[in-house]
Structure 1
Amino acid sequence: MTKIQEQFGFQKPPHGLFYSFDRALRFELGGEGFGSDRPIRRFVQAHERANTISQTLFENSSEVFVLLSSYGTEKPKKKRLKSLKLCGIKRREIQYLCREPQQDAEHIAAFGNDIFRHWEVAKLEDRRAISEILWLGIASEMAIEPSFRGSLSAYLVDLSNGLMLHVYDDRGMDIIATNEVPLKKLFTTYRSWLLEYDLPQMTAMFGGGTQ
């Protein structure tokens, strides 16, 4: 986590990545009229968009890591990372980093113990795993399999170039960067996919170019 601190200014990615970093983009993935009545079409659109954007973002990356977050008791459940096997990532390739107590007073009062956020990381030896990880994240709250289950969430990180991507579910995806150049490229190329609600903020940062 020290390298993440040095590059991004925080040790652990906060919730709402877009709102926690100055240089950031937020993309809409599965929206535009595809609701719960068309889950397959919604999922396909979300995965295609996430794939396309991630390929552009990491096109010059020599190394990409997956940073994993999950919640649980002080000792994490063994099966929490089972879905990573489907991406060709073996358990021995995943390094446990730390646990972070949440100081949840209600949980402590009810159960006598706290909730912990657990962090793990793995280097992606096969870049095709990026698409598979995006699949698992997008499907996590849909009737689509396979998917991340429980509280597992993934951040794709290029430490050398200061890039981080996080799919929070089928609705959208946040990207931050320490250099505004890659974000300007994404802003211009995929502007029609940016979340309209936050578009004024992104336009103020990266300009009013059209797709």
Structure 2
Amino acid sequence: MNENFPNLELSPPLFYSWKIGIRFELGVDYNSDCAFDNSPYLQGVYKRAVTLFKSLHSHSDDILIIVDVNDYGDSFKHKPKNFSPYIKEKSVLYGLNQKTIPYIFPEDDEEGTYKTHRFTLQCKTSDFRYIPMLKAICNHDIGVRPSVFNRVYFININRKTIFHIYDDRGCDLLATSPETIRDVYDKYNDWILDYDRNEIDEVFK
């Protein structure tokens, strides 16, 4: 992580913290009537999220799954359930590491009492059920279950990319080189968030 993305803080909005990246739009034409299980809106979100993930991660790639769990000092559980439902072989979970870092949103912690617990698991793409996990991440803000309520980052060690779904609206893709993700930029250009398109196009000129 530090070798490929030096001085990068894993905290949203990730796209604005690194010079090489793409911000994709996942959710299109949302309204309050879309917030139900398997709605056409959510089906569109799932399709884009899964398609982008598959385009970035082969089954044999080594990846780091990083989950940040915020601790407000009330009812923190030291073993989050973000991993176990999605890991195919439970023995893979023996490699789960945890460390406590300063709260990732310090501007919201005036008294300095909050913390963030960062869980890291290294595995192969083929070791976990990424489709239901991606769907659960997208479900968070919609209020649909199952949901993953914590921030999740997928770091591809082989391809040197970081993939982060910030909510059902969109996701960020970071890389160490434009050439690494040019194929994704070209193939899914229509999904790029228009708000940041000019900045993104400059990277791939």
Q: TM-score range by the shorter chain?
A: 0.7 to 0.9
Distance 1:105 1:24, change over 3 A: closer
Count of residue pairs brought into register by the alignment:
197
**Separation in 2, partners of 1:127, 1:55:** 14
Residue in 1 that maps onto 2:144 = 144
Q: Report which of the two has the higher share of helix.
A: 1
The secondary structure found in structure 1 opposite 2:80 is helix
**Separation in 1, partners of 2:147, 2:182:** 31
Are the equivalent residues in 1 in contact too, given 2:61–2:157 (CA < 8 A)? no
Seq. identity, %: 21
Distance 1:186 1:81, change over 3 A: same
Gaps of 5+ in 1: none
**Separation in 2, partners of 1:174, 1:106:** 25
**Separation in 2, partners of 1:73, 1:143:** 21
Write the deviation string for residues 96-154 of structure 1: whole angstroms up to 9, x where unpaired: 0332246568652xxxx6111221111234355222321121111113110113xx110
Distance 1:181 1:136, change over 3 A: same
The residue identity in structure 1 corresponding to 2:71 is: G
The residue identity in structure 2 corresponding to 1:20 is: S
Distance 1:48 1:86, change over 3 A: same
CA RMSD of aligned residues (A): 2.5
Distance 1:30 1:79, change over 3 A: farther
Q: In the alignment, does 2:17 pair up with 1:15? A: no
Residue in 2 that maps onto 1:36 = 32
Residue in 2 that maps onto 1:94 = 96
Residue in 1 that maps onto 2:182 = 184
Describe how 1:141-180 pairs up with structure 2 within 5 A: 141-149=141-149, 152-180=150-178
The secondary structure found in structure 2 opposite 1:59 is coil
Are the equivalent residues in 2 in contact too, given 1:57–1:182 (CA < 8 A)? no
The secondary structure found in structure 2 opposite 1:121 is strand
**Separation in 2, partners of 1:196, 1:206:** 15
Please give the TM-score of this superposition, normalised by the length of structure 2.
0.84
**Separation in 1, partners of 2:108, 2:167:** 27
Gaps of 5+ in 2: none
Structure 1 stretch 77-86 or stretch 183-192: which is displaced more?
77-86
Structure 1 stretch 67-76 or stretch 5-14: which is displaced more?
67-76
**Separation in 2, partners of 1:202, 1:105:** 29
The residue identity in structure 2 corresponding to 1:148 is: V
